[in-house]
Chains A and B, each alone.
Chain A
């Protein structure tokens, strides 16, 4: 029962969507299932946040190593959640000025916007910006022209790196019009439109077959790994 019903639910959700794709009369069922999926996706945000709170509260209560930083996480979480859910400092909507809760939670100038603009945005953006440094370090340490394949990879990378900036235009602008196809910026376009397209198309076809196979295994109950092991 604990494992059979979920399998039936999986099959129901998947096959309703597949059938609705082919039989227009059932399109409404597919839409309904997709809407339930969309609603559940936002409840998953709540699950994620609550799970984070649970983990960090445990860390603080057990006085595990680094509990101070967990306390910072919890504080940041609770402050942001409170400010956002209560729409603190948010003015009413100009369409409904008598409804104090009608304003947008994202209103510019409100504390929630402040947290987004001066905490969330710089922190997430900088986290990703750090990748530029790591890619440089990785290029120095790892990219070795050991064999034909590696030389092809590095050569293509050089052409793309030069061709997608003014450096490429500058370096090969002297080539005559009859050989314009060999100018680095034009070579870049050819590489992307022919070689890259060919390689990615093959990868895409392979992945599509893999997804089809995995999806069918899940829907038919052959693959039950998502149910986890044991009774609970």
Chain B
């Protein structure tokens, strides 16, 4: 056993990881069954912050991520967009990452155009697009949008868009939702938007697993709601689609269950990780017993 583990080619570990993710994906994809989700307090708080907004309230959604993090953040983006559209909130999309606008386009195509075709661009939602500079952008738009956004992403003059007439800066938003994969992201929104204007700006966020532990010190004073990693996405999906589909007696479409589905391979892969750590420590203790340094 010791010799087998000690000399194990790491490609066998790669294969085990591949199988531990792909087999649950196939089983869940074919059967349609996934593990039950029980939302935790932080996800419930995030849900309730949006749920307590009124029709017509203004929400800024900043999609600060790219395809490399879409596995974790894509479901959050979809669920946030759905929730805001279902609540009839006015959605202002923007991005601090160059590929963020593609993520915005995906959310608009897959959620708004499919399930809310009655929403009108310019009256119910607008895509302001990407501007470079990270925290420099936040620093400017927190006092004046038009200094950077003279037009929206389609080239329409900012103030000629009906829903933009009511806003001049981020402080006019009733809520800021940030979906973040790194820098510039949630940390920068907290540092340059929320902290200088704590009474004017409320921020909730969805972030990657790598970032989530680093943002906990901001909770709840600077960041009242946070969805951390794919688990946060799955919990939030459960809350949103229970409220707007299951509670109405409707079946949730498969495309709104991505986060919940991905918890299946997560479970198996996590168990594999634990087994691998135990196996590695077996080698360590076996060597210690044999007196091998």
Contacts and interface: CB of A to CB of B under 8 A. Distances in A.
A212 interface: no
B14 interface: yes
Contacts of A63: none
A137 B42 CA distance: 32
Nearest to A44: B132
Given A41-B133, A137-B13, A106 B213 contact: no
Given A104-B153, A164-B231, A143 B281 contact: yes
B105 A45 contact: no
Nearest to A133: B14
A45 B98 CA distance: 10
A124 interface: yes
Given A124-B66, A162-B270, A162-B274, A31 B144 contact: yes
Interface in A116-133: 116, 120-122, 124-125, 127-129, 132-133
A136 B16 contact: yes
A9 to B, nearest CB: 16
Given A35-B147, A38-B131, A166-B35, A125 B68 contact: yes
A161 interface: yes
Nearest to A20: B139
Interface stretch (B82-90, B251-259, B261-269): B261-269
B69 interface: yes
Interface in B211-252: 213-214, 216-217, 219, 229, 231
B271 A167 contact: yes
Interface size class of B (residues with CB under 8 A): 35 or more
B109 interface: yes
B277 A157 contact: yes
A125 B153 contact: no
Nearest to B104: A106
A34 B266 CA distance: 42
A121 B67 CA distance: 6
Nearest to A165: B267
A178 interface: no
Interface residues of A, number: 61
B273 A139 contact: yes
Contacts of A174: none
A158 to B, nearest CB: 6
A224 interface: no
A180 to B, nearest CB: 12
B147 A165 contact: no
A106 B8 CA distance: 47
A110 to B, nearest CB: 12
Contacts of A164: 229, 231, 266, 270
Interface in B133-149: 133-134, 136-137, 139-140, 143-144, 147-148
B263 A166 contact: yes
Contacts of A102: 155
B133 A106 contact: no
Interface string A134-167: 0111011111111000000010011001101111
A167 B267 CA distance: 7
Contacts of B98: 45
B51 interface: no
B46 to A, nearest CB: 14
Contact of A146 (B8, B263, B284): B284
17 contacts: A38-B131, A38-B132, A38-B136, A41-B134, A45-B98, A124-B67, A136-B276, A137-B10, A141-B280, A142-B280, A161-B270, A162-B274, A166-B263, A167-B271, A192-B213, A197-B217, A200-B216
Report, nearest first, the 4 A-B pairs whose CB atoms are least far apart.
Answer: A38-B133, A166-B35, A41-B132, A128-B68
Given A34-B140, A185-B40, 7 more contacts: A133-B17, A140-B279, A145-B281, A164-B231, A189-B40, A189-B41, A200-B217
